[in-house]
Structure 1
Amino acid sequence: MESPERARLDAFFGRVTERFPAGGQVTSLVVTHLLSERPAFLRAMAATSTVGAVLPKPKSIDQQTLEAVQSVHTVHGLSRELFADSTRALEYLEDTASGQDVVLVDIGGYFAPSLGTLAEKFSGRVLGVVEDTENGHQRYAALDQLPCPVVSVARSPLKDCEDHLVGRSIVFSTDALVRARGDILTSRNACVIGFGKVGRAIAQTLRAHDLRVTVHDTDPVRRVQAHSQGFRTTSTTTEAVKDAELVLCATGNLALRQHDFAALRNGAYLASVTSSEDELELATLHQLYQRIPVGDQLTRYEITGHYFYVLADGGAVNFVHGAAVGTYIHLVQAEIVAATTALSHGRFNPGLHSMPTTDHQAIARIWLDHFDR
């Protein structure tokens, strides 16, 4: 990153950390995408906590950024298995931050399966979790009882800007990968599964690119919202995908299961907005379908009489092109910093929480001062 841009970002995060100071010595374990803008966020985290470890999301690692971060912080490999087993998760936490006050910064609910054990048996204190994504929000909300505060920024108004641009970037990357093999999407039938903030942006962008868009969501309220915006809606996944030449999955909670793939139209393109294990049960198909790479980030799944294409191995397709959403990403990063310091002050009881409106407004004002010029 060029030094003037680094100085600008550091000045922005300096204002954020000044506005939201830590309440004591805290260690953070940070699950994150390691993209080119991420070091500025990690510097802000380091200004308010001791960064005990950075755990990069496996499919969103820029090599140059990784090397830069490794020169400053401890970097550990991340997988679902690492925290799925409570004993292994506790051993990891003890090895990394024994006896310390810890905040777990999460993207996708990685710590959720073992959170009860970590909160109860860790030699230090788990002050809480900060969760960035909708699929992670759902994982924590599904727990019977939260043993510590979980502050979710997934549904923050500050994330609306990012989500809208993520939807656009998903369509951009999908279109680029399809065009790279000499095909186009214009005038095709498309299906969007999930009509949350990102799904809504995808559907609107596809329509603006002259695709005919069908929407499916398990929530009938969201189906009504989609219908009111002029989209065709369906009550089942099978009906939604059967005529679609493009299927984009944006639920964060397994949009397509094994039996759903048989309903895909021959030649359909399939893409996701998040990790493949969160959105698509592709692993169950590996013994049934032959997988043939047919282009950059494009795989053909084929059995007798049926075939379809999967983009980016079912992972977040926009990460193929860096998932850039401009300076709006720093709004959410600033809220993660603020949520971390709020947990260090003990501002929340066990349970699922959002940051207060006054904090959103303070972050927005700081952002406007630095980037609305």
Structure 2
Amino acid sequence: MEQFERARVGSYFARIADSFAANERPSSFLITHLLPERPSFVEAVGKCSNLRAVLPKPKSIDASARRSVEKVASCDALTRELFGDDDTALDYIESRAPGEAVVLLDVGGYFAPSLDALCSRYSGRILGVVEDTENGHKRYAGRGKLPCPVVSVARSPLKDPEDFLVGQSVVFSTEALMRSRGDILHGRPALVIGFGKLGSSIARLLHAKGVQVTVHDVDPVRQAQALSQGFTVARDRDAALRGAGLVLCATGALSLRGEDFSSLRNGAYVATVTSSEDELDLDTLPGVYQRTPNGEHVTRYATTGHYFYLLNGGNAVNFLHGASVGPFIFLVQAEILAGIRMLAHGDLGHGIHEVDIADRETIAATWLNYFNR
């Protein structure tokens, strides 16, 4: 990013931070993908809250971005185990922000397992959570009764451009890795598992590239949507796996279990849009499969008479090439800042909430002023 572009992004976030400044700043913990454009957003979080720590998602950390962020905030190691155990989570929050009013900024439902303990045992007060992803939204919604407010931006219309462009970046990175081995998309029927915002974007771009696309989704509404857009909808999931030369997993949940991999046709490629721990049950893959590096970021899994290729170790394939969605990412990041102010006011009931329409319009108008040039 050029210096003048950084200045524009910084000015945009300064304007957004001023628009959504709370009368009393809460403390915050920020889980985020630490990509090259992220430092400006992190600085804005620091203006809207007392940022106690940034916890970068471990498989999406840009070294330069981390160095920039470390100048303004502590960077701590993030694991599922950190917030998977009540005592560990509580000790961590207490060590960073004892007795403070705290907002938790989440990407993927990391805080969900220990949220009850944090809300009931923490020496300060958990004001609530702001969640960025559909996967995380489902984790919080699936808990039933919540002990605090959760502001979800996962289903905001301001996130639609990001989701669409992430789908495009997944196809770009998948094709790039295939081409690095001398393979191409054409002639390989594709199976897209999950027809949400990411999966539908992936399916549309593959189709535009001349690829035969089959969709599998457990939701009958999404199946109908896929049919209306001209895609084949798998009636038999196993048969669809056997026929696919490329499988793209876009559910945000478990897409392939260990026994599913043996159904893949020889030479099939498998890629995901999230982490391997979410989409793939690789731990239960039969031990007879031998894993061999087969080009950069490509692993060949083989046993007698069968083999397939896994891209980027089963982790989000688009992060290999920066996962950039351009300035559109700044829309939903601004909405996260609006969510901080909502929680800082302290008047939301326990449950899932969305940012007000008027606030979204303010964000969109500001964004257009800076980036529609």
Asked whether the two chains share a fold, i.e. TM above 0.5, the reply is yes
- Tell me: CA distance 1:286–1:87, structure 2 relative to 1, closer, same or farther (3 Å): farther
332-341 or 284-293: bigger deviation? 284-293
Matched residue, 1:319: 319
Matched residue, 1:108: 108
Report the residue type matching 2:293 in the other structure.
P
- Distance (Å, rounded) in 2 between the aligned partners of 1:68 and 1:285: 40
Alignment of 1:298-337 (within 5 A): 298-337=298-337
| CA-based RMSD | 1.1
Task: State the shift of 1:17 in Å.
Answer: 1.3
- Distance (Å, rounded) in 1 between the aligned partners of 2:258 and 2:328: 36
Describe the superposition over 1:197-241 as per-residue Cα deviations: whole angstroms up to 9, x where unpaired.
110000000001110000000101100100111100014432331
Task: State the shift of 1:33 in Å.
Answer: 0.7
Describe the superposition over 1:242-277 as per-residue Cα deviations: whole angstroms up to 9, x where unpaired.
200000000001111122212111110000001111
- Distance (Å, rounded) in 2 between the aligned partners of 1:145 and 1:64: 40
Task: State the shift of 1:347 in Å.
Answer: 4.0
Helix, strand or coil at the partner of 2:147: coil
253-262 or 327-336: bigger deviation? 253-262
Report the residue type matching 1:331 in the other structure.
L
Matched residue, 2:38: 38
Describe the superposition over 1:103-127 as per-residue Cα deviations: whole angstroms up to 9, x where unpaired.
1101111011111111111100000
Alignment of 1:72-83 (within 5 A): 72-83=72-83
- Distance (Å, rounded) in 1 between the aligned partners of 2:127 and 2:6: 31
Matched residue, 2:238: 238
Contact 1:237/1:260 (8 A) holds in 2: no
- Distance (Å, rounded) in 1 between the aligned partners of 2:227 and 2:318: 26
Matched residue, 1:264: 264
Alignment of 1:287-302 (within 5 A): 287-302=287-302
- Distance (Å, rounded) in 2 between the aligned partners of 1:306 and 1:150: 46
Alignment of 1:1-373 (within 5 A): 1-285=1-285, 287-373=287-373
- Tell me: CA distance 1:260–1:78, structure 2 relative to 1, closer, same or farther (3 Å): same
Describe the superposition over 1:341-360 as per-residue Cα deviations: whole angstroms up to 9, x where unpaired.
11111242110111121111
- Distance (Å, rounded) in 2 between the aligned partners of 1:87 and 1:257: 31
315-324 or 286-295: bigger deviation? 286-295
Describe the superposition over 1:39-73 as per-residue Cα deviations: whole angstroms up to 9, x where unpaired.
00011101110110000001100111112212221
Describe the superposition over 1:49-98 as per-residue Cα deviations: whole angstroms up to 9, x where unpaired.
01100000011001111122122210000011111111111111111111
Task: State the shift of 1:286 in Å.
Answer: 7.0
Unaligned runs of 5+ in 2: none
Runs of 4+ in 1 over 3 A off after TM superposition: none
- Distance (Å, rounded) in 1 between the aligned partners of 2:194 and 2:62: 28
- Distance (Å, rounded) in 1 between the aligned partners of 2:142 and 2:129: 15
Question: Normalization by structure 2: what TM-score?
Answer: 0.98
62-71 or 29-38: bigger deviation? 62-71
Question: Normalization by structure 1: what TM-score?
Answer: 0.98
Unaligned runs of 5+ in 1: none
Helix, strand or coil at the partner of 1:262: helix
- Distance (Å, rounded) in 1 between the aligned partners of 2:234 and 2:51: 46
Number of aligned pairs?
373
- Tell me: CA distance 1:225–1:96, structure 2 relative to 1, closer, same or farther (3 Å): same
31-40 or 14-23: bigger deviation? 14-23
204-213 or 60-69: bigger deviation? 60-69
Describe the superposition over 1:285-334 as per-residue Cα deviations: whole angstroms up to 9, x where unpaired.
27342110001110011122221110011111000000011000000100
Contact 1:233/1:240 (8 A) holds in 2: no
Contact 2:257/2:285 (8 A) holds in 1: no
- Distance (Å, rounded) in 2 between the aligned partners of 1:236 and 1:136: 29
- Distance (Å, rounded) in 2 between the aligned partners of 1:32 and 1:197: 20
Describe the superposition over 1:10-42 as per-residue Cα deviations: whole angstroms up to 9, x where unpaired.
111112112111231311100001111000001
- Distance (Å, rounded) in 2 between the aligned partners of 1:17 and 1:345: 15
- Distance (Å, rounded) in 1 between the aligned partners of 2:245 and 2:97: 49
Report the residue type matching 2:178 in the other structure.
V
Describe the superposition over 1:160-187 as per-residue Cα deviations: whole angstroms up to 9, x where unpaired.
0001100110000000000011111113
